[in-house]
Amino acid sequence: MKRLLSIGIVSLAAAMVLFVAFHHTRAQGESSAAWGPTHLSATQKSDPLPKNLNHELFRTYFVHVPGTTEPAGPSALDSGTTFKCWLPCTLEVEQNVQVGNNTKTGNKWGLGVMLDGSLVATPFVGEAPTDTSYVIGTYVYTTSLDPGTHTVQSWIDTDDGLVLGFNNLTYRIYVP
């Protein structure tokens, strides 16, 4: 009798877990399909993700860029990170870049994001200090992506060249 009661309680608990998981998925407006390849091709456009849809962190890439001297003009901060979205996903790029040891007045600099071979964002960050001190610039870029393989890379652009100090790049992939 005890064994039968234990089996019944375990079965009831399993059924409740499945019920809650199914209704949680439906409440978020998603199908109950498993995460994985779909019938959509990488070039097929998907509907934009609703802005109020809860996203879950799927993968994070940390890239540390050692201090270097950067020439005038645009240059890549990293070699690029390639990832795959099985479903529509959201990419968040967080760039924390320290620049300094500059002696030229008016040396403007900015950060950039290259996505799948196209420069998609290049905000002006500021002017590098002229007293050989360092400043940190931060930029966050977010975009929705269609299913497929993507490559993201961070860039810096400067009028007169400068020295990079401690720099960290974070690439986060979210799924709906």
User: Per-domain residue ranges for the chain?
Assistant: 1-32, 38-175
Q: Tokens 């790049």 correspond to what residue?
A: 169
Amino acid making up residue 118: S
pLDDT of residue 51: 61
Banded model confidence at residue 30, pLDDT cuts 50, 70, 90: very low
Residue 90 vs residues 13, 14, 54, 158, 175: alpha-carbon distances, Å: 34, 32, 11, 29, 6
In sequence order, what DSSP letters do the residues of 87-98 get, joined into one string?
S-EEEEEEEEEE
Angle at 135 between CA 160 and CA 95, to 5 degrees: 90
51-59 mean pLDDT = 81
Banded model confidence at residue 37, pLDDT cuts 50, 70, 90: very low
Render pLDDT for 82-95 as a digit per residue (tens, 0 to 9): 999 999 999 999 99
Whether 67 has a pLDDT exceeding 60, the answer reads yes
Render pLDDT for 95-112 as a digit per residue (tens, 0 to 9): 999 999 888 999 999 999
pLDDT of residue 168: 96
Top-level CATH class of 38-175? mainly beta
Banded model confidence at residue 48, pLDDT cuts 50, 70, 90: low
Render pLDDT for 120-161 as a digit per residue (tens, 0 to 9): 888 889 999 998 899 999 999 999 999 999 999 999 999 999
Which comes out higher in pLDDT, residue 11 or 21?
11
pLDDT of residue 54: 79
Could you tell me which residues come within 8 angstroms of residue 170 by beta carbon, excluding any fewer than 6 positions away? 60, 61, 62, 63, 92, 93, 94, 96
